């Protein structure tokens, strides 16, 4: 009889598979050793001679190389008023998620602060994405976050000092002795560890994804002319542009609906300026790669 589970840890040739709320140490069948099994993979396991063996690897929905993890479902982008939000980081994280088939969710922490301290928070222009306002200090709306995380593999991302560790420890109820932050690092080059692990508590699964370097927009798996497709707030107006191939960059103002909406304050101007910066970087990458 085979049991279905998710790989939550890997050390050399040993794998731990989460089955029925228990992490079981397993070895891969010989034919699977060279195929590559990643943390996050869904596998079938059998018991043979008192040894659990991974028999089969299920088809993946996605596979990230940096960090090495499969089937990541949600990217929880944590932000707060202190430190002041870096919306370019938010834009890049959303773009990374969409380009890998991952659902981005914004969590605004530190709602225990005063209104004046929260003056920097403005997500009116992110109306296409789910936003949850919480406080790790007072547990405000933590139940909403738990509901979103239920039965999904999620990773946390965001600037330093926004409270990712506090939220994660609360969600895991300090079940694990966590060293440092279980988070997506945004400092390029400073964290090169390629280790992933999924921590499980009840029906919540949080991925520790050290070594996340794909916030460099040049590493995004998309071409510059594909960029508009990963902006839901732009894509819904695409049919109103004069040309179906409009990328909302070089086209004349009268031919581009997005430029008109930005000019009329229907779309956020600063988000559009950030879009143009990312577009230019991806275009330069394309030119260097394809000539």
According to CATH, the topology of domain 222-290 is Ribonucleotide Reductase Protein R1; domain 1 (1.10.40)
Asked whether the domain spanning 64-209 has the same topology as the one spanning 3-59, the reply is no
Instruction: Just give the CATH number of 3-59.
Output: 2.40.50.140
d(CA 225, CA 204): 37
Amino acid 182: pLDDT = 45
Beta strands at 74-79 and 153-158: parallel, antiparallel or unpaired: parallel
Q: What is the CATH number of domain 64-209?
A: 3.40.50.300
> What is the per-residue pLDDT for 219?
67
In the prediction, which pLDDT does 274 show?
A: 96
> For each of the chain's 291 residues, which pLDDT tens digit applies?
789 999 999 998 899 999 998 999 999 988 787 678 999 999 999 998 889 999 999 999 999 877 789 999 999 999 988 888 889 989 999 999 999 999 999 999 988 876 665 665 667 788 899 999 999 889 999 999 999 999 999 999 888 888 888 899 899 886 553 444 444 444 333 444 446 799 999 899 999 866 454 466 666 789 999 999 999 999 999 899 999 999 999 999 999 999 999 999 999 999 999 999 999 999 999 999 887
Write the burial class of residue 157 (CB in 10 Å: 0-12 exposed, 13-18 middle, 19+ buried): buried
Joined tokens for residue 185: 């690092």
Q: What is the pLDDT of residue 233?
A: 94
Q: What local confidence, expressed as pLDDT, does residue 220 receive? A: 79
Domain ranges of the chain: 3-59, 64-209, 222-290
Whole-prediction pTM:
0.88
- Closest alpha carbon to 72 in 154, 194, 181: 154
């Amino acid at each position: 009889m085979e049991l279905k589970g998710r790989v939550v840890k890997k050390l050399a040739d040993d794998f731990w598979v989460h089955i029925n709320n228990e992490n079981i140490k397993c070895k891969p069948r010989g034919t699977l050793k060279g195929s590559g099994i990643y943390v996050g993979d869904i596998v079938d396991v059998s018991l043979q001679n008192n040894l659990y063996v991974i028999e089969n690897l299920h088809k993946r929905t996605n596979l990230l190389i940096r960090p090495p993890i499969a089937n990541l479902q949600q990217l929880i982008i944590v932000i707060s008023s202190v430190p002041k939000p870096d919306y370019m980081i938010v834009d890049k994280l959303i773009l990374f998620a969409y380009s890998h088939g991952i659902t981005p969710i914004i969590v605004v922490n530190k709602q225990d602060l005063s209104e004046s301290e929260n003056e920097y928070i403005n997500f009116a222009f992110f109306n296409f994405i789910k936003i949850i306002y919480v406080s790790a200090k007072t547990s405000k709306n933590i139940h909403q976050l738990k509901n979103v995380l239920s039965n999904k593999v999620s990773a946390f991302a965001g600037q330093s000092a926004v409270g990712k560790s506090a939220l994660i420890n609360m969600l895991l109820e300090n079940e694990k002795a966590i060293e440092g932050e279980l988070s997506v690092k945004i400092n390029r080059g400073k964290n090169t560890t390629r280790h992933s692990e999924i921590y499980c508590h009840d029906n919540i699964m949080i991925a520790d994804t050290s070594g996340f370097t794909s916030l460099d927009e040049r590493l995004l798996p998309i071409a510059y002319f594909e960029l508009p497709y990963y902006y839901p707030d732009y894509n819904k107006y695409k049919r109103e542009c004069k040309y179906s191939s409009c990328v909302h960059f070089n086209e004349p103002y009268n031919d581009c609906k997005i430029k008109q909406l930005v000019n009329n304050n229907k779309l956020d101007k600063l988000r559009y300026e950030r879009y143009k910066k990312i577009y230019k970087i991806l275009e330069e990458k394309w030119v260097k790669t394809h000539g």
